[in-house]
Structure 1
């Protein structure tokens, strides 16, 4: 391809920029043209670290277009989120760039897209990093793309680095992809959230094969944002503040919560108070997510109440505010989320309302994020022993890991070459693999340091914007003059008594339905679990199944969740604390039972015997029986060989662990034989629901006409 010369290239690029933005007076931001020139004229590898809203997507769309005009093939953009892909495709079309995406939301369109690629009718193809793992894409489409590719773009490139706040194992495959590219294919990586360690890691991966990487780094401070922190203590005071002051915040925006339960509860409370809001979480289905995004972009709602599922790349330039109910686990992750606001406005408000539960939530997610030696050895051993591809479901019956943990571990092992995904499932590669304990230890230490830094941000001992940008190693970090540290408190701090009372009543709501298990997990026969020699699979027989149950609350709930987390917290030595059920929780339990719309009231109470908290469970069950004048059947008999159950156990292994754990005592069996009404089966904390399922099955087989499970909490 011929070089155009700097002046001619700039004119052509500027025309493309004006088409992309729809503004005939648009000009390049500092560094934009330099990045385009490095890619199009120099065919270089470039890393662009610039603040959200700077125009990183303009760099790669214009570069892709100019490469196509010069005779190159389509650009391949690796992009992490569906929302981001949708916005990018729409933006590309405005500039006359023919863009298509291959992702999990448009499976029915894949064959049409493949035909367009074959006809050379695509300028930009967007794929998720997970596509790079898909055998069909990797074997059929990727080689042809590499042969004809005009540009490779890695969007949100901090995801490549496991030092980053949002590491995605599948992103590590991009290193292999880069290594396979011909030298003349330019490569662009972009991010707004990378400190020096992440930058060095990304540059090392981009430079594989001895290539020099052109790094363009600009100031990260966002002059439109006004930052603040308001510590209100309790969950209901945070809800009350938001309910009272949401309408005063500028324009429309996002309210972030740390958990799905908190987002759904907050959205419900705000809607009940008259605010136009919608929830947006990992549990929201794809069509509802798209409708919610559109509603916010069109200002038909005041806010989306979201988890981090609404994250990188969501594009609403005039977003007026971002409020967090609970803090993300690092200042970098926080900067990523608040960067959604004020991209095309002079002013936007950003407020953090931290909660006392934040650290517990950080710890939960951190302990599930990185592999351990034992887990890795178990997976590799199972794959090596089988000698044939295994699906994730099949692996679950061979290794004691939950689905999410197993999927993440497989991705990490695949990136490191120990396993690979082929048609039919996962296989071991037989390549030598050594668990890098030192590296994972350093990453865990880095995560703890990030959490401490987030607490430092909340403390407000220096300018909040300077604190965030300094955390990204921005050499331009300086006081902003706008945040509550620099300029004083800019947000209201008062809460009316009525709003606080309404929020407290909402948070004080008790009673969460506990759906009964309906299907046995696969592979139980491999673990020695049978029904008198008969294989257990498929649906649980109706005459052995539980009825829908209740718990007082989830441990992640805004209200009673805090009380439950305190109750189930271990002592300083990590041992369970056992005591009689606290009076407040006892009364809350009775409220749940009074409000339960069961078909038939229970006539008796039994309980699941506990090793770690026997007093708690017995006092709860006996208290309920006394208050409701129900017959007390007592506990199931616990096997003398029973040991405490591991919370991380997956479904198949949990069934194995509890299958012979209990027995119906003769006196209980005699009482059940004459039972005419349902049995209320009491436990303390529900994790997998399999303990209650197996215990309830024993009661049903002994004569109970129905079993209603009840517990204090669930996750």
Structure 2
């Protein structure tokens, strides 16, 4: 392709854009610059432009033009199912033959692989996880890397561990780029990248010495009206939203920080007559697609979502985005609010921060990349010849399943391990723990959290603050005020809430009691730790109950406050709620005795609850299940290590006064293994059955 064809090429690009976006659409200058660089210059480019700018138009048009000139299919690495579905639909409008390979269409994989082999596709969208699937990596990817017309990395901030949504699977993209055939162009796109992320992604795109063209635009969005509403109490915040929802324009998204909060809020709003639904990472893939269509078609007022509904969801007329709880980063916050107001004159963006936000941030930060000795243990236990599954490795290292998989993926890219059929093997290659980088990442996270707190408190322009956090090149001195946010206009949402509405909301949210499902299967590999437990759990507890989750909108705040206070007897309100939970418990057989698990942090609290329940329910008070003084404390989150650490942890109790089921009381449950192992101790001592009850659960 020569430069003499460029005028005709631009005409064809304009025609394709009209097919994609409508008869009046015209290419932006930077859109054409990117297309020209890819199609004519066969270059590598990074496009950082706000949501709705038209980044997908760049790669679909480039893909079609390259295909028309005899080049191979375009490979698009895309992180979310919602994004893929929207992109396939967009491609089809421009006559682009597209297909996607992801966890939601497993039954179609073989057919799609055949279509790739037969050259029947213009665009193949793959999830980053597929890049390291052994079959795909070894059988499909080599031919794509050699013959692809274009490689696109969408949501490219995920490539960088400085990005707000870094994903270990995205690190594989660097290897893919390094293995590309000569002259294959690469495009990376994102709406949310500050200077540090731009530099990191540019470097990774330029692996092999290629120069990266960076096209970066301003992030101003004239339709967004930003505001912060300070309502200290969680119940009042939920009541305020229920009261305000109908007045918000069109349909929108309400973001919550946790799955349980999203479910609780969706249930509350539904009961009050609002047409909403919960959308989380635990929502079935087919149901997610239905919910997305309901929001696109304005059949719901809002989806109450976690960050699972985010990147790439395309509803141009989205009327509002509300956050019940603040994300930990202004960059991720801007990424989510950027969903709103793409084709509307006005969109409401409201943040309702809570005092519990910091605790939730701390929990998610606790699952970051672990310390060096933990990572080196993973390398040590890996065989260099015999593949080991993640499940088999878990009992050998002090990591939970999710963190272990993350570590393995990072080590894979670093060359220390390799994923093969049947699991993982060590490579024997030397590996260096980049302590300085991880410490810098930790400081960056802390800085972003502080910036998010500052955003809530500032009296200057909120949009300018967010744009500054993203190092927006369009933020000019002296012209930075948006003139639309609550600080610029002085117009604020009334934070008062009707007292009766608050009480009704509190009554609903503080309805005590959450089911506690028992553990049913022992972790694999316990034998390697000297524990002879395996298979189904036959001597554990019955299904139990919890007063509330720490992340609940209702009881969460009160339970967090209680557990943060110095140890002492349970308040009357908590005891009353515990009694309500027991009164509504549909047990097969009523307990005849109660016993408290000794708590390292709140012994008086757990003992007082057990004692009061014994008195009110006329149960035998068996006292406290005591830990052996010589037994070391157990802190492991990994299931196998935790079970092994709890074997023989308690003194044998005297159950002569227990003629029937025993109610076992603990203050806080997380993994469920403490209650499981404590129940085994009671069963071994003669208890007919054990009914676990916890004051609070972490999730």
TM-score normalised over the length of structure 2: 0.97
> Are 1:36 and 2:35 an aligned pair?
yes
Partner of 2:578: 589
Within 2, Cα distance between the matches of 1:150 and 1:125?
11
The correspondence of residues 131-530 of structure 1 with structure 2, limited to 5 A, is: 131-384=130-383, 387-477=385-475, 478-530=480-532
Preserved CA contact (<8 Å) 1:611 1:643: no
Shift of the alpha carbon at 1:663?
Answer: 3.5
Within 2, Cα distance between the matches of 1:484 and 1:101?
42
Shift of the alpha carbon at 1:3?
Answer: 4.6
Deviations 1:334-372 (CA, angstroms, capped at 9, x unpaired): 000001111111211100000010111111111212232
Partner of 2:7: 7
> Are 1:599 and 2:588 an aligned pair?
yes
Aligned match for 1:628, one of 617, 637, 641: 617
The DSSP-based 3-state class of the residue aligned with 2:226 is strand
Partner of 2:639: 651
Shift of the alpha carbon at 1:253?
Answer: 0.3
User: In structure 2, do the counterparts of structure 1 residues 623 and 539 end up closer, same or farther at CA, with 3 Å as the change threshold?
Assistant: same
Deviations 1:147-196 (CA, angstroms, capped at 9, x unpaired): 21000100000111111111111111111111111331111000000000
Within 1, Cα distance between the matches of 2:458 and 2:581?
41
The DSSP-based 3-state class of the residue aligned with 1:670 is coil
Within 2, Cα distance between the matches of 1:192 and 1:473?
12
Preserved CA contact (<8 Å) 2:593 2:657: no
Aligned match for 2:657, one of 654, 671, 685: 671
Within 1, Cα distance between the matches of 2:591 and 2:340?
53
> Are 1:691 and 2:679 an aligned pair?
no
Shift of the alpha carbon at 1:636?
Answer: 2.6
Deviations 1:376-407 (CA, angstroms, capped at 9, x unpaired): 012111115x7521111101111121111111
Partner of 2:20: 20
Preserved CA contact (<8 Å) 1:258 1:325: yes
Within 2, Cα distance between the matches of 1:684 and 1:44?
59
Within 2, Cα distance between the matches of 1:71 and 1:587?
74
Shift of the alpha carbon at 1:680?
Answer: 0.5
Preserved CA contact (<8 Å) 1:2 1:70: no
Partner of 1:547: 542
Within 2, Cα distance between the matches of 1:149 and 1:347?
41
Aligned match for 1:538, one of 535, 538, 551: 535
Which sits farther off after the overlay, 634-643 or 624-633?
Answer: 634-643
Structure 1, unmatched stretches of 5+, are: 531-535, 571-576
User: In structure 2, do the counterparts of structure 1 residues 585 and 4 end up closer, same or farther at CA, with 3 Å as the change threshold?
Assistant: farther
Which sits farther off after the overlay, 174-183 or 58-67?
Answer: 174-183
Within 1, Cα distance between the matches of 2:315 and 2:363?
31
Partner of 1:81: 80
Partner of 1:704: 687
Partner of 2:68: 69
The DSSP-based 3-state class of the residue aligned with 1:619 is helix
The DSSP-based 3-state class of the residue aligned with 1:5 is helix
Structure 2, unmatched stretches of 5+, are: none
Deviations 1:17-37 (CA, angstroms, capped at 9, x unpaired): 01112x222111241111111
RMSD (CA atoms): 1.4
The DSSP-based 3-state class of the residue aligned with 1:632 is strand
Within 1, Cα distance between the matches of 2:401 and 2:588?
34
Preserved CA contact (<8 Å) 1:231 1:354: yes
